[in-house]
A and B are shown apart, each in its own frame.
With several copies, the nearest count.
Chain A
Amino acid sequence: MFLENFDPLKDEMIQIMDKDGVVVRPDLMPDLTDEEIVELYKTMRFSRIIDEKTLQYQRQGRMLTYAPNLGQEATQVGSAFAIRQTDWVAPSFRELGVWLRKGAPLKNIFLYWFGNELGMKMPEEVRILPVTIPIASQMQHASGLAYAARYRGLDDIAVAYVGDGGTSQGDFHEALNFAAVQSLPNVFIVQNNQFAISTRRKIQTKSGTIAQKALAYGIPGVQVDGNDIFAMYAVTKEAADRARRGDGPTLIEAYTYRMGAHTTSDDPTVYRDNSEVDEWRDKDPIDRLRKYMMAKGIWDEEKEEAYSEERGRFVKETFEDVEKSGDTPLEDTFDYVFAQKTPILEAQYQAKKAFYAKEGK
């Protein structure tokens, strides 16, 4: 529907709902119940609350480096809503909305950013690979996950997320090419938030759209308004169906904006004007859906407040819980290098333990 008719060279962008929450393409509007729409909204809102509170904790010196996804909630939640629970995700590091939708416990997420590997030991059903730090390397894993799913006769697909900066890495290229050659059940989603830390998208690549990079691999590529959750949902859904049918991978460019700093270590005022941020604030994905819901009468200020309050409390409690989690025990740093500690690791572990005992540590 979108995919077949879309020409990524025309610099078009799929939008269903405009920035005022008005559905401008009713023909493309996905079939979502009111409950589902509220659920979409709540997930985005929850993500925003987590980001805001975590930034606050970070400023208070209670959190380590954190990468907020402010402004990208629709991109993430919309796409994640369009896939199944058993589908795989190979994430980058800024996909809070995806984690939430796929059922990752907030406690795990906090533990991870708190510097504890236990965080990435997610419940098995979450099916998201751990946060990937080496940019774009996860793309390759997605292709392998998809290969294995098909090989095993399952109809699970694998979705990879990557940033606009990540499209420059060789791994991006190789993964798309392999998935295309093998016609793998993959969906590749580029969150084009206009920046790789301080580096603007225009410096990252000269192609008119990122979606058109799909042409290099002979697969469909589509540019989507990443701040329009209906568009993100609808396009991802179609790409996922396509993948599941055996018709191969799709590249989705979600056109969005990183409203916050790259991470809490970053000072974006060095490289961008606040006025630019303000412009994008006007296109906020959460406000947009709220306007839609309010107009439709399925949400109101009261619900908003109640939900925010309840979620805020939950975030606070979870974070305080995580704050008490303490350091990683010595043995944990040794126990997961291999299935079984090697004799050398065992000896090093015993030596450190003896040292701690001696020093009363």
Chain B
Amino acid sequence: MLVLNLVEAVTNALDTAMANDKNVVVYGEDVGVEGGVFRATKGLQEKYGAERCFDSILAESNIVGAGIGMAINGLKPVVEIQFSGFMFPAFNQIVTHAARMRNRTRGLYTVPMVIRMPYGGGVRALEHHSESLEVLFAHTAGLKIVVPSTPYDAKGLLLAAIADPDPVIFMEPKRIYRAFKQEVPEEYYTIPIGKAKVLKEGKNLTVVAWGAMVRETQKAIEILEKEGHSIELIDLRTISPIDKETILASVQKTGRFAVVHEAATTFGPGAELITTVNEGAFLYLEAPPKRVGSNDTIVPLPKGEHHYVPDTDYIVSELRTVLEF
């Protein structure tokens, strides 16, 4: 067993994948010589050479667009977008090509590619370094969106993403890149994409969260459980496709639902989860379902960021309104 933090688990997963399959190539801005601005690709160029791990040009549309060509021609590109806020120049390639090549050719050409990107706030970063853009991908047919919340999950989910025959957006909660360490198996393993994980059982309320919000929500739940509530926590792990089964089974048991996310609230991921619950467990609901998200403002610079992202206290306060309804 290794003991790794989340970003180290990402590196380890990449290393494992590259060792297993010569066709895995890794690139992106500063990914080669430097090993990435977060050091997620540290050591890979030294170990596997500059053909398999290299510095791209500073052009996200090329990073993804070239990867599409590579994937069609037999490689497994695992590319890094330096921060998710810089995926916009690549959005055309992602949506109009990566997501569609299989359908467009009725399966002749496919794009088994992974697009990694650190996302989310709470690290006092410059503008555009803190976005949570899962909805923009999740509303697009042909993409899977995966978000790990622990080192163990990061490795298993990333290896599953690399093994997946279709493009996967792998969003890494950079706020917890180095927040804690965990035992991570040295060997290859995967965690299935499309399956949520019940982190904690409970009776009165189902809460769904992912990424860095899992820890924040855990803290909130601890506080609320001290008051006597019993709360079930689900780590969504895959944003798209949503694991409706796990969520609905839980809500049918607890009768109450909330979702906590970093993304902006309106037209956000919470709306989809609430609608899912409406569609599959409406008659079980004992209280209006609740979304706890960030404001519909522009992500503030560091001096205002605390107003934006839900923190433990705010989550407590919001969940309480559902519990006490």
Contacts and interface: CB of A to CB of B under 8 A. Distances in A.
Chains A and B touch (C-beta atoms under 8 A apart):
yes
A318 interface: no
A11 B25 CA distance: 35
Contacts of A329: 304
Contacts of A334: 295, 297
A182 to B, nearest CB: 8
Contacts of B62: 140, 143, 168, 171, 174-175, 177-178
Interface stretch (A20-28, A197-205, A238-246, A276-284): A197-205
10 contacts: A129-B72, A134-B86, A137-B65, A174-B61, A174-B62, A198-B55, A330-B304, A330-B307, A339-B102, A344-B242
Interface string B9-22: 00000000000000
A168 B165 contact: no
Contacts, number: 257
B35 A141 contact: no
Contacts of B125: 65
A338 B304 contact: no
Given A148-B73, A336-B106, A203 B301 contact: no
A348 B306 CA distance: 15
A165 B58 contact: yes
A178 B126 contact: no
B314 interface: yes
A118 B302 CA distance: 12
B166 A339 contact: yes
Contacts of B29: 196-197, 199
Interface in B17-35: 23, 25, 29-30, 33-35
B61 A337 contact: no
B73 A144 contact: yes
A168 B66 CA distance: 14
A166 B74 contact: no
A177 B141 CA distance: 30
B30, B96, B129 — which one has the most chain A CB atoms within 10 A of its CB?
B30
Given A134-B128, A137-B65, A145-B73, A174 B57 contact: yes
Contacts of B102: 336-339
User: Which bracket fits the contact residues of B?
Assistant: 35 or more
Interface string A24-50: 000000000000000000000000000
Interface string B98-125: 0001111111111000000000000011
Contact of B57 (A141, A152, A203): A203
Nearest to B106: A121
Q: Interface residue tally of chain A, by bracket?
A: 35 or more
A181 interface: yes
Contacts of B141: 337
Contacts of B166: 338-339
A147 B63 CA distance: 12
B128 A133 contact: yes
Contacts of B25: 151
A115 interface: yes
Interface string A111-126: 0101111101110100
A325 B55 CA distance: 40
Interface in B23-55: 23, 25, 29-30, 33-35, 37, 51, 55
A137 B97 contact: yes
Contact of B303 (A114, A124, A343): A114
Nearest to A111: B303
Given A120-B104, A133-B127, A198-B55, A149 B73 contact: yes
B68 interface: yes
Interface string B212-247: 000000000000000000000000000001101100
A121 B108 contact: yes
A181 B57 contact: yes
Contacts of B300: 117, 328, 333
A117 to B, nearest CB: 5
A143 B69 contact: yes
B148 interface: no
By Cβ-Cβ distance, the 5 closest A-B pairs, closest first, are: A144-B69, A140-B65, A115-B302, A328-B304, A148-B73
